[in-house]
Each structure stands twice: as C-alpha cells, then as structure tokens.
C-alpha cells in the first residue's frame, strides 16, 4: 500500500493577551480551508494552531488582575478554543507554549544550540528603566524616557545569551531570493526582508531575558528566560514531537508545507526561524506566507488598538458559513483589506442569497413543479448546454490552482462566475416556456439536469469554505456522499439521470441592509462594544508585542461639534458584573437627574465593588443601546494604559450631574 501524501499547515500561535477577533479568524480560516481541501483530496493533513503564552506582557496583565499568569491565560485560551469550535475550525492539534512537553523541548533546543556553538553568553547593552526593571532599545523610548512609565532610563549592561544570527545572513538571503523555491510569498515581502533587514546587516540576536520570570528558564542557567520568539517559533516542531516524547510524528509531517501568518511577523519566520533550523540541522519549512491585515478605520484590527469586531456576534447573526465566505472572498490575499459591515452585507446578499441561493431554490422548485421532484431520463441537448458544462468542467482546476497559491478570493470569484452563468442559462433556456409543451419534456429535463450538475460541482468546490451549508445543498439536489467527493467535481454527469430532489429551507436569507447596519453600528463599531470599552482606539502597547500602525488622527471638528456632547460627573451607586459576559460591568449612577444605568466593558480591569462610591465621567446624551439584554444609557469614559483600561476621574469632589466642559 502506498502511503498517503502528507500536508502540514500551521497558523501563528496567538498571544492570549486579549480575546480573539476577526483578524485571528482570517488566518485560521484560511488554514482551515486549505486543510479541508487537502483532506478532501486525500492528503494526510496535520493542521496545527495554538497559543503563545509566555512573556512580560502576559505577566503584567495577570498581575494587574491579581491572578497568576497561568490562570490569566487559561481563561483566554478557552475563549480561543470556543471561537474555533464556533466557526468550524478543524485543527488536528492545539499547542500551548505552557504545555510541559513544549517547555522541555525548548530547553533542549536552546541547550543544543549552545552546545553547537550557535548560542553564546555575551552582554546586552541598552537603556534600562530601574523601577520597571526593563531594558529598552533606543527606538522603543518615548521622548528618551521609559515607554512604560515615562521615567528616566539609564545606560546599562546585562549578561545575556545571543544567537549567531549574523553568521546566517548569506544563507538566508540566498534562501529568500531563490525565485524557484519561492520560500517566502507574496514576493513583495521578500524585497522588504532583504532590503530592510538583511542587507543593512543582521546582528546576533539576544535570546534570553532576566527582567521577568514568566517563560521557559534556560536549563543550565535558570536566571535567564528563553526569548519568547525562540520559545514560540519552536512550537512548529515541538508539536510534532521534536525533542520530546509527547508526540512522535515529526518525521511524518516535517517539513511543514506552509506557515501562514500576517505580514508583521514575517520577519521572525523568514529570517530567525530558518536560521535556527539551519543551526539545528533541521530541514526548512517549504513555505512562509504573509497575508495582509484586516483594517478597521484605517488601522490594523488588533487587540490593543481596541477596534476589534466580535466574530461570535457575526457568526450568530449571519451564520458561520456566511462569515467564513465573506472573509475569504473579500480579502485579496496578500493585500490589506478594510472590514466594513456594509461590504459584508452587500456581499452576502449578492453572492449567497441572490446568486447561489436563488440558483438552488429556482432549480429545485422547477424540478418539483414540472416533474414532481424526479427527472425523466430522456435527454435532448443544445449547444448552450455544452457552453455551461465546459465552464463547470474547467472550474475544479481553476479553484485548485488558486487555493494552492492562497488566492482564496479569486477561487471563490471563479465559482460564483459560473454560478452567475448558470442563472443566465435559466433565462436563456426559459424552462417555464418549455414546460408548457409536453413534447419538450426531454429538453426541459436536460436543462434542469445541467443546472443540478452545476450546483453539485460548485458546492463541492465551495465546501472547504462553507462546510456547514453545502451538505444541505447536496440533500436538496439528491447527491449521495459518493457524488460529492472532491474528485467527482472534475466530472459532469454524476447525478443519476432520474435524480430526485427535495424541498429545503432558504439557505441564505436576504439581509435588510438598513436595519442591520443600524444594529451593527450600535454594537460592533468601535464605540463602546464589549470588546472595546471606551470607544476610543487605544495606542499600541509598548514592548515586545507590536500591534500595527499608529492610530490615524480623527478629522478636525469645530467647538460646536464638541458642544453637542453632554459630559457629566456621576457617582457610582452600585456596580455588578453582567451575567454571561466577561467584559461588561453594569453601573447604577447618581447622575443628579434621577439616576441611570450604564454598561461599560471594563470588567477585565476592575472589581465591581472597588468602584462603588467613586466618581466617573459619562456621556449623558448618547442614544440608549441594549447589550446582553440590558439597556445602557450613556457611556463611561476610560482610556487605555499599558496595564489596560482605566477610568477617567474628575479631581476634587464635584456633585453628581456636574457638567464637564
Ligand atoms: O504575533 N488582520 O501573536 P498575535 C489579519 N504570538 N490577521 C491578523 C490581524 C489582522 N488585523 N490581527 C491578527 C503573535 N492577525 C505571536 C505569533 S508564531 C510563532 C507567534 C493574525 O496574537 C495574523 O495571523 O499577535 C497575525 O500574524 C497574528 O494574528 C498575530 O497574532
């Protein structure tokens, strides 16, 4: 028996420093689509995802919340897993960098690199903030001061371990510029890496830290913690059992077929990771793919920029498949793409409800109406049939080549081009006219059979993207499991000639744009959602986890615009956590006007009881909104700090209801 070909695909392991958002869904969905597609093709697939749980940022967040780092990450990792389950992610393995076997492997890898002479002990020189016990590089300083606390920094030196990255510069450049190999894609990223990082000179990389303890200790010198990126990148091999006993499929799946990620971490994957593997004498992954960013209001959608959109809400409202389809259809892979509720609804209405949904419901309805649900076997062909079937037959190869090159949006556009063609074929063949003439029964059956076959092929090719709804289509068009295999998408004429269809529900109901936009703007836009407590996008947190471009400034306004805001002081009478929400607190305020209730998404940053009796500032004339079934009559102001959101407080002791101007 010949062994199955393997396909190993990975997402980045995500930081559990905040809950997952649409940006994380994007990469994970792209990988899921490929994993499903390869499984359908018969590959033995290993699809790995996980979480990158160590580092100073997590340590600080946990301490701000008064929990251990492990407790802190456990909660967020559970949310990642819940989301992946909700949106149908079929990962085969989930690695957490806090898993014992991974920690053990990382220690062995570090020691191995040391023994091989690729890691050496040296001295790290940088700017040091004494109270924070943190080293910063010159470029991280803000106005020459500590970016965390704003205090003076001093020149300092510290013993640290270094990886001889510099000695790999030539080999890495050769790897990246080998066009045939296409190790890093899209090509534009290669130029960026070579011109910005390699040609200016690769320096040895500091791979240990002593300023915090939440990480993997260097086994032979345990006051040092292994640099998070060495810890994190190693996940791709430790998850297969490299240097550990937990798994034993390293030789089966490595080298990875593709490491998928967004562009901001391509540098770590295309320069540091291959160098580490070269030093370990381990083969390199076949491909690194760096896609673009989902942006919102001009910035990368990200945890610390506050502009996150809640994928649970979108999945609940429009269905998992619609969300999956929209993300993969709308974003040209490789380029950035703005997320917009309007675009999403337009796309769902036009492609799913109109084109695909109508094709299916019209076809099934006609077979039911004209033939009582079962086609007669006699056929009568015309040239136009061949025009449609030729396009359907060519589709599989087009989809495959676009999936293989990560052009999901092109693959999907091609399928929908053929679906539109089929809708036009209905108009051209006018089955309702054929139905009036009993002598045209064979012709009518031929037309309907062509439509059913088109739907069958299109739905197979769409199934890696929309795995939940396609089986319902197959049920309606009378296709057995055998007829919906990937390989059968390359043939036309697979449904039995006397196929029987079944009535079904509308798969993709039309969405009322105006109503939905009003709803979504209320709950999802960056104004005070559960995920974004203040409505004001926060600045990127400084430190080791960059979160994208600086925020764009908002347009200038006039004093009259500001005067429209009724800002007031309120005294907190009571404050409680909102049930089934880990973000929202429900405040009852003395507002000097008889009292009101306001919800604010700051539950992660405060204990409700500590807020009772304190003063806050709130917007008094914001239209009321309902969240989790509770009405919120205004917005309490807070601002982002490196430790999370903090309330804005008035000084002195103003009376409740006092105006803020
Ligand atoms: O970087 N648009 O974790 P992370 C598109 N732990 N993709 C986005 C996105 C957006 N707006 N926001 C996030 C880390 N992503 C490290 C990785 S790997 C060894 C260690 C996706 O939680 C995208 O894949 O910041 C991006 O590269 C990743 O999430 C960053 O996740």
What is the C-alpha to C-alpha distance for residues 60 and 644, in angstroms, rounded to an integer? 10
Last residue of a domain, one of 462, 490, 518: 490
- The answer to whether position 660 is within a domain reads no
Tell me, what's the pLDDT at 297? 67
Q: Measure 615 CA to ligand 1 centroid, in angstroms.
A: 37
In this structure, the residue with its CA closest to atom 16 of ligand 1 is: 14
What is the domain extent for residue 610? Answer: 526-647
**Residues 610 and 509 sit within 8 Å (Cβ to Cβ):** no
- For the Cβ of 256 lying below 6 angstroms from any atom of ligand 1, the answer is no
Is beta strand 184-185 parallel, antiparallel or unpaired with respect to 288-291?
Answer: parallel
- The answer to whether position 17 is within a domain reads no
- The answer to whether position 380 is within a domain reads yes
Pick from 217-231, 420-434, 448-462, 505-519: least confident: 505-519
The DSSP call for residue 616 is E
- The answer to whether position 382 is within a domain reads yes
Tell me, what's the pLDDT at 524? 53
What is the C-alpha to C-alpha distance for residues 153 and 130, in angstroms, rounded to an integer? 7
Q: Tokens 């037959």 belong to which residue?
A: 393
Structure tokens at 619: 């917007």
- The answer to whether position 287 is within a domain reads no
| DSSP of 531-579 | S-SSSSPPPPPPSSS---SPPPPPPP--HHHHHT--EEEEEEEEEEEPT
**Does 537 share its domain with 470?**
no
Tell me, what's the pLDDT at 372? 98
Which atom from ligand 1 is nearest to the alpha carbon of 27? 24
Whether a cis peptide bond, with omega within 30° of 0, leads into 103 is: no
- The answer to whether position 480 is within a domain reads yes
- pTM beyond 0.95: the answer is no
Last residue of a domain, one of 474, 490, 506: 490
**Does 344 share its domain with 481?**
yes
Look at the chain and report how many structural domains it folds into.
2
Q: Tokens 């971490």 belong to which residue?
A: 265
Q: Measure 650 CA to ligand 1 centroid, in angstroms.
A: 37
**Does 481 share its domain with 531?**
no
Last residue of a domain, one of 467, 490, 513: 490
In b/e form, how buried is each residue of 183-219, taking b as 16+ CB within 10 angstroms? bbbbeebbebbbeebbeeebebbbbbbbebebbbbbb
- The answer to whether position 417 is within a domain reads yes
What is the C-alpha to C-alpha distance for residues 497 and 446, in angstroms, rounded to an integer? 9
The DSSP call for residue 296 is E
Strand-pair partners of 163: 119, 205
- For the Cβ of 13 lying below 6 angstroms from any atom of ligand 1, the answer is yes
Provide, rounded to the nearest whole percent, the portion of the chain with pLDDT above 70: 93
- For the Cβ of 95 lying below 6 angstroms from any atom of ligand 1, the answer is no
- For the Cβ of 52 lying below 6 angstroms from any atom of ligand 1, the answer is yes
- For the Cβ of 638 lying below 6 angstroms from any atom of ligand 1, the answer is no
pLDDT in tens, 136-152: 878 788 889 988 788 89
Provide, rounded to the nearest whole percent, the portion of the chain with pLDDT above 90: 71
**What mean pLDDT comes out for the span 74-91?**
96
Which atom from ligand 1 is nearest to the alpha carbon of 261? 24
**What mean pLDDT comes out for the span 412-417?**
98
- For the Cβ of 254 lying below 6 angstroms from any atom of ligand 1, the answer is no
**Does 399 share its domain with 536?**
no
Q: Measure 344 CA to ligand 1 centroid, in angstroms.
A: 22
549-556: list long-range contacts, CB under 8 Å, 24+ apart: 549/299, 549/300, 550/299, 551/299, 551/305, 552/297, 552/298, 552/299
**Residues 98 and 37 sit within 8 Å (Cβ to Cβ):** no
| DSSP of 214-271 | SSPBPTTSTTSEE-HHHHHHTHHHHTTTTTSSS---HHHHPSPSEEEEEGGGHHIIII
pLDDT in tens, 99-123: 999 999 999 999 999 999 999 999 9
CATH number at residue 539: 2.40.50.140
**Does 484 share its domain with 536?**
no
Those residues with Cβ within 8 angstroms of residue 528's Cβ, 6 or more apart along the chain or in another chain: 534, 535, 600, 601, 625, 632, 635
pLDDT in tens, 320-368: 999 999 999 998 877 888 888 888 999 999 999 999 999 999 999 999 9
**Does 426 share its domain with 536?**
no
Q: Measure 232 CA to ligand 1 centroid, in angstroms.
A: 12
**Does 349 share its domain with 448?**
yes
Helix axes 311-318, 69-86, angle to 10 degrees: 20
pLDDT in tens, 585-596: 999 999 988 889
pLDDT in tens, 624-661: 777 777 888 899 999 887 777 889 999 988 999 999 98
**Does 478 share its domain with 532?**
no
Tell me, what's the pLDDT at 1? 53
Q: Residue 281, by phi and psi: left (phi above 0), alpha (psi -120 to 50) or beta?
A: left
For residue 340, CA distances in Å to 218, 313, 320, 346, 552 come to 46, 15, 17, 10, 17
What is the C-alpha to C-alpha distance for residues 39 and 496, in angstroms, rounded to an integer? 26
**What mean pLDDT comes out for the span 365-381?**
98
Q: At 20, give phi and psi (nearest 5°).
A: -65, 150
**Does 595 share its domain with 472?**
no
- The answer to whether position 298 is within a domain reads no
**Does 469 share its domain with 603?**
no
**Does 591 share its domain with 457?**
no
CATH number at residue 407: 1.10.730.10
pLDDT value at 376 more than 60: yes
Q: Measure 275 CA to ligand 1 centroid, in angstroms.
A: 21
**Residues 124 and 212 sit within 8 Å (Cβ to Cβ):** no
- For the Cβ of 293 lying below 6 angstroms from any atom of ligand 1, the answer is yes
**Does 449 share its domain with 546?**
no
**Residues 268 and 100 sit within 8 Å (Cβ to Cβ):** no
Q: What is the CA radius of gyration of the chain?
A: 29
Q: At 358, give phi and psi (nearest 5°).
A: -65, -40
């Amino acid at each position: 028996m010949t062994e199955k070909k393997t396909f190993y695909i990975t997402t980045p392991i995500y930081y559990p420093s905040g809950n997952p958002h649409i940006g994380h869904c994007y990469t994970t969905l792209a990988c899921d689509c490929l994993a499903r597609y390869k499984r359908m093709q018969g590959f033995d697939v290993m699809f790995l995802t996980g979480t990158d749980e160590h580092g100073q940022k997590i340590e600080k967040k946990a301490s701000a919340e008064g929990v251990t780092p492990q407790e802190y990450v456990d909660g967020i990792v559970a949310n990642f897993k819940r989301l992946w389950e909700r949106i149908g992610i079929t990962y085969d393995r989930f690695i957490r960098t806090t898993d014992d076997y991974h920690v053990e492997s990382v220690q062995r890898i570090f020691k191995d690199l040391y023994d091989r002479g690729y890691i050496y002990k040296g001295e790290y020189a940088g700017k040091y903030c004494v109270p924070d016990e943190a080293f910063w590089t010159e470029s991280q300083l803000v106005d020459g001061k500590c970016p965390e606390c704003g205090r003076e920094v001093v020149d300092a030196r510290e013993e640290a371990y270094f990886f001889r990255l510099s000695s790999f510069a030539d080999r890495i450049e050769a790897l990246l510029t080998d066009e045939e190999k296409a190790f890093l894609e899209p090509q534009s990223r290669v130029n960026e890496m070579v011109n910005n990082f390699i040609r200016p000179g690769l320096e040895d990389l500091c791979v240990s830290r002593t300023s915090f303890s939440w990480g993997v200790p260097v086994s032979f010198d345990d006051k040092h913690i292994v640099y998070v990126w060495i810890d994190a990148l190693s996940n791709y091999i430790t998850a297969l059992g490299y240097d550990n006993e937990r798994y034993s499929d390293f030789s089966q799946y490595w080298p990875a077929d593709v490491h998928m990620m967004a562009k901001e971490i391509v540098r770590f994957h295309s320069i540091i990771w291959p160098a580490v593997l070269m030093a370990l004498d381990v083969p390199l992954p076949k491909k690194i793919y760096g896609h673009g960013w989902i942006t919102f209001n001009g910035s990368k959608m990200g945890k610390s920029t506050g502009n996150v959109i809640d994928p649970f809400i979108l999945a609940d409202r429009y269905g998992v498949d619609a969300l999956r389809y929209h993300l993969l259809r709308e974003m040209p892979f490789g380029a950035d793409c703005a997320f917009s509720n309007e675009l999403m609804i337009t796309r769902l209405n036009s492609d799913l409800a109109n084109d695909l949904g109508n094709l299916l419901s019209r076809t099934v309805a006609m077979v039911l109406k004209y033939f009582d649900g079962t086609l007669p076997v006699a056929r009568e062909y015309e040239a136009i049939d061949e025009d449609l079937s030729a396009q359907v037959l060519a589709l599989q190869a087009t989809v495959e080549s676009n999936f293989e090159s990560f052009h999901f949006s092109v693959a999907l556009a091609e399928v929908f081009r053929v679906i539109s063609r089929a809708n036009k074929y209905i108009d051209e063949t006018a089955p309702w006219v054929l139905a009036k003439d009993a002598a045209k029964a064979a012709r009518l059956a031929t037309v309907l059979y062509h439509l059913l076959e088109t739907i069958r092929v299109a739905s197979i090719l769409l199934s890696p993207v929309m795995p939940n709804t396609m089986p319902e289509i197959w049920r309606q068009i009378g296709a057995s499991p055998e007829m919906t295999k990937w390989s059968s998408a390359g043939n036309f004429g697979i449904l039995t000639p006397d196929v029987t269809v079944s009535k079904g529900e509308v798969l993709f109901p039309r969405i009322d744009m105006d109503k939905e936009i009003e709803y979504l703007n209320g709950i999802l836009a960056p104004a005070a959602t559960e995920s974004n407590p203040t409505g004001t996008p926060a600045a990127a947190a400084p430190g080791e986890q960059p979160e994208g471009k600086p925020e764009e400034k908002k347009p200038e306004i006039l004093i009259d615009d500001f005067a429209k805001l009724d800002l007031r002081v309120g005294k907190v009478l009571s404050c409680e956590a909102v049930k089934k929400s880990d973000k929202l607190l429900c405040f009852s305020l003395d507002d000097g006007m008889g009292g009101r209730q306001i919800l604010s998404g700051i539950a992660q940053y405060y204990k409700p009881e500590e807020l009772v009796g304190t003063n806050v500032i709130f917007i008094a004339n914001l239209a009321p909104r309902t969240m989790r079934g509770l009405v919120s009559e205004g917005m309490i102001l807070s601002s982002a700090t490196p430790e999370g959101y903090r309330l804005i407080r008035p000084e002195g002791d103003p009376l409740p209801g006092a105006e803020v101007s």
